[in-house]
């Protein structure tokens, strides 16, 4: 039987709930079998006839660990894994699992029933009720995993939308360089820019900001159509959802360097094209526009990497380690 801590963040961890469902078919939310973890902890207890196996999956932007959860578990899957910033005494427990992204795992009725039932069994320990219920709704508004499939792209069309962060100047600058170079390239039909902020601040990028919010459905359709895409680590140099989405969609990716580790290294010119500055971003854009074979190789290798290292059930199976816990 598979038990999930009922105070988990179902929005950020929907990807892994999908993986558990794919492997085991059924999961049960529970609090009695777990310590009193803080709200949002994604703890998994797998029980078979002879023993229990305890898993923590940590998708937070920060590269530190929840030490109470770390002590409890047998293995700790970490999205933003920096081996230089991890507790040495638990280093053998912590595994890099790479980027994920939020997906829709339930329709409206099961979303509502799970939200209510999990609230009732864990209400005494919920520190933020609004956030608890909001995460169920956010999960419902995402797209199912089947929407993230590889499809044909348009040779001339490039699409990009990214957030404009108040404290991430480097991220903003890299994104602006990509947008500007695409706009200035006569061989590219570019669409996109920075997403408008709620506070309307533009941080000097006013000419690159869109005037309206784009729906997730339209965003994914346009990304599928895009000849290539751009990735850069986001808040706190984390693996953003974009990287996971791009790999799942099988896109040719231009990316700046990653700070955090991955389950397997991405190879330059094989899985992605790395660029370290604005000039290199321009050079990689020019290269991909001219070289269709390179684009196709990057697309195929990106999706293959996702299938081998990032897909929901693959992440879970790698964390299980022991064959007996597969069923």
* Rounded-to-integer distance, Cα 317 and Cα 327, Å: 11
Give me the pLDDT at residue 83, please.
84
Bridge partner residues of 75 (DSSP):
55
pLDDT tens sequence across 117-129: 999 999 999 999 9
Q: Token pair of 56, please?
A: 């923590």
CB 111, CB 75: distance < 8 Å: no
In the chain, where are the structural domains located? 2-145, 157-310
Give the closest residue to 222 by CA, choosing from 248, 190, 244: 190
217-247 per-position pLDDT tens digit: 999 999 999 999 999 998 888 899 999 999 9
- Radius of gyration of the chain from Cα atoms? 20
Please report where in the chains the tokens 């000419």 appear, as a residue.
Answer: 207
- On the question of pLDDT at 258 being above 50, the answer is yes
Kindly indicate whether the domain formed by 157-310 is annotated with CATH number 2.40.50.180.
Answer: no
The tokens for 284 are: 């990689």
Sign of dihedral through CA atoms 238, 242, 244, 246?
negative
Contact 193, 148 (CB under 8 A): no
What's the pLDDT tens digit per position in 85-125?
888 888 889 999 999 999 999 999 999 999 999 999 999 99
149-197 residue pLDDT tens: 999 999 999 999 999 988 888 999 999 999 999 999 999 999 999 999 8
49 confidence band (pLDDT: 50, 70, 90): confident
Burial class (CB in 10 A: 0-12, 13-18, 19+), 150: middle
């Amino acid at each position: 039987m598979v038990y999930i801590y009922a105070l988990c963040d179902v929005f950020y961890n929907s990807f892994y709930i999908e993986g558990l469902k794919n492997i085991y078919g059924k999961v049960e939310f529970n609090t009695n079998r777990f310590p009193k973890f803080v709200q949002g902890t994604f703890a998994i207890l797998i029980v078979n006839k002879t023993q229990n196996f305890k898993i923590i999956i940590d998708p937070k932007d920060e590269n530190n660990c929840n030490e109470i959860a770390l002590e409890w578990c047998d293995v700790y899957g970490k999205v933003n894994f920096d081996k230089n910033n991890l507790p040495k005494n638990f280093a053998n427990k912590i595994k890099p699992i790479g980027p994920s992204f939020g997906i829709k795992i339930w329709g409206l009725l099961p979303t509502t029933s799970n939200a209510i039932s999990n609230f009732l069994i864990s209400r005494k320990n919920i520190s933020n009720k609004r956030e608890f219920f909001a995460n169920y709704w956010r999960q419902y508004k995402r797209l199912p995993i089947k929407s993230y499939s590889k499809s044909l792209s348009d040779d001339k069309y490039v699409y990009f939308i990214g957030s404009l962060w108040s404290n991430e100047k480097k991220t903003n600058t890299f994104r602006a360089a990509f947008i500007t170079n695409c706009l200035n390239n006569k061989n590219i039909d570019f669409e996109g820019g920075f997403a408008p902020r709620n506070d309307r601040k533009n941080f000097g990028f006013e000419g690159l900001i869109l005037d309206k919010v784009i729906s997730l459905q339209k965003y994914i359709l346009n990304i599928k159509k895009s000849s290539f895409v751009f990735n850069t680590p986001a808040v706190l140099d984390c693996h953003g959802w974009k990287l996971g989405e791009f790999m799942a969609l099988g896109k040719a990716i231009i990316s700046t360097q990653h700070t955090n580790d991955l389950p397997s290294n991405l190879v330059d010119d094989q899985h992605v094209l790395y660029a370290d500055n604005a000039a290199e971003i321009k050079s990689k854009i020019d290269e991909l526009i001219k070289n269709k074979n390179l684009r196709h190789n990057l697309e195929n290798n990106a999706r293959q990497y996702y299938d081998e290292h990032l897909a929901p059930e693959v992440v879970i199976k790698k964390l299980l380690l022991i064959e007996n816990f597969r069923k």
